[in-house]
């Protein structure tokens, strides 16, 4: 093992749930789900640097909202990795550039943790298998393994059963966050008061979807986000975002991602997504708005 960590950097993409079906809690309080997850070309970045003593730092527009201690998933990822190695490691600094809003339904914490795990493997244990790394990611959260893979997939069970997604077209989208957090636990508890009768059942899945229009039509007809209604009840600003997006001509499908508060609009082309994003930024400068591609 080298006595000094190399300088490395990894992108941590935003996760978007194109649909999210949720069942009632099991005996341990976990909710079964089924979801089609895709990943955006916008997100955070994690940097690994040599240091005289172990350190974790944050930067970026949302960096000051990140807890510095063990509650942070990047720190917990490092701790889990050290336990897996079972021996001393050279000191290093992890720097999280936080560009995604906090408690936003974009899997930011899990994606950050996945990026940190990849960096630590590259620097300290390149022989560690993908399966071992995925087990570490899964131990950090229900969507940890999915965010480590960071490609379109189907998640079932508690989020740990992963399978390939159908072949998807290029999906251009606009992400919008109203600047209000949407705590996952509170949203799930609100959902428990009225669980959807179909629960976490998977919809019949097409083998492929040829266009953004076809994908949006299928998603609207066959799927939903069960957490959208309870999240809107808890945080009405989410409902405002959804209403605005649904009134825009570029929007093929409008939905909330995960447990919120970020919502998305699928658009037919990059040009339409760009136009929608620019208009929203002018209309609502208090909202976080990003044009992106999903894959």
Question: What DSSP state is assigned to residue 190?
Answer: H
Assess whether pLDDT exceeds 70 at residue 88: yes
The whole-number average pLDDT for the span 142-152 is: 97
**DSSP H/E element including 46:** strand 33-50
**What average pLDDT does range 216-228 have in this prediction?**
99
Confidence (pLDDT) at 76: 96
pLDDT of residue 3: 55
Report the binding-site residues for ATP: 101-111
pTM, two decimals, is: 0.96
CA count, 13 A, side-chain hemisphere, 263? 29
Res 46 pLDDT > 60: yes
> What distance in Å separates the CA atoms of residue 80 and residue 74, rounded to the nearest whole number?
10
CA 45, 46, 52, 54 dihedral sign is positive
For the chain, the residue count is: 295
Residues recognised as catalytic = 15, 143
pLDDT > 80? residue 226: yes
Q: Is the pLDDT of residue 14 over 70?
A: yes
Are 288 and 179 in contact, with CB atoms under 8 Å apart?
yes
When pLDDT is averaged across residues 2-10 and rounded to a whole number, the result is 83
Question: Which tens digit of pLDDT belongs to each residue from 229-282?
Answer: 999 999 999 999 999 999 999 999 999 999 999 999 999 999 999 999 999 999
Q: Which SS3 state, helix, strand or coil, does residue 18 take?
A: strand
List of domains in the chain = 8-163 (3.30.230.10), 165-294 (3.30.70.890)
């Amino acid at each position: 093992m080298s006595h000094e960590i190399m300088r490395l950097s990894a992108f941590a993409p935003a996760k978007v749930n194109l649909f999210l079906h949720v069942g009632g809690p099991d005996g341990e309080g976990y909710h079964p789900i089924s979801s089609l997850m895709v990943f955006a070309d916008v997100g955070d970045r994690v940097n690994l640097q040599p240091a005289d003593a172990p350190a974790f730092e944050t930067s970026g527009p949302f960096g000051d909202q990140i807890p510095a201690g063990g509650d942070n998933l990047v720190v917990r990822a490092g701790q889990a990795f050290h336990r897996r190695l079972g021996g001393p490691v050279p000191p290093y600094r992890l720097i999280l550039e936080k560009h995604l809003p906090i408690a936003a339904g974009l899997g930011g914490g899990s994606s950050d943790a996945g990026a940190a795990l990849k960096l630590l493997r590259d620097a300290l244990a390149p022989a560690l298998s993908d399966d071992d790394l995925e087990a570490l990611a899964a131990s950090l959260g229900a969507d940890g393994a999915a965010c480590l893979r960071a490609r379109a997939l189907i998640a079932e069970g508690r989020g740990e059963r992963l399978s390939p997604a159908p072949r998807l077209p290029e999906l251009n989208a606009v992400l919008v966050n109203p600047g209000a957090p949407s705590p996952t636990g509170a949203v799930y508890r609100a959902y428990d008061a009225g669980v959807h009768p179909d629960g976490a059942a998977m919809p019949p899945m097409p083998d492929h979807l040829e266009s953004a229009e076809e994908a949006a039509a299928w998603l609207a007809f066959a799927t939903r986000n069960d957490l959208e209604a309870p999240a809107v009840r808890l945080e009405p600003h989410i409902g405002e975002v959804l209403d605005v997006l649904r009134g825009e001509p570029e929007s093929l499908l409008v939905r909330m991602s995960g447990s919120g508060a970020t919502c998305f609009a699928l658009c037919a082309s990059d040009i339409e997504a760009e136009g929608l994003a620019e208009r929203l930024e002018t209309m609502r400068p208090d909202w976080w708005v990003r044009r992106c591609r999903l894959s």
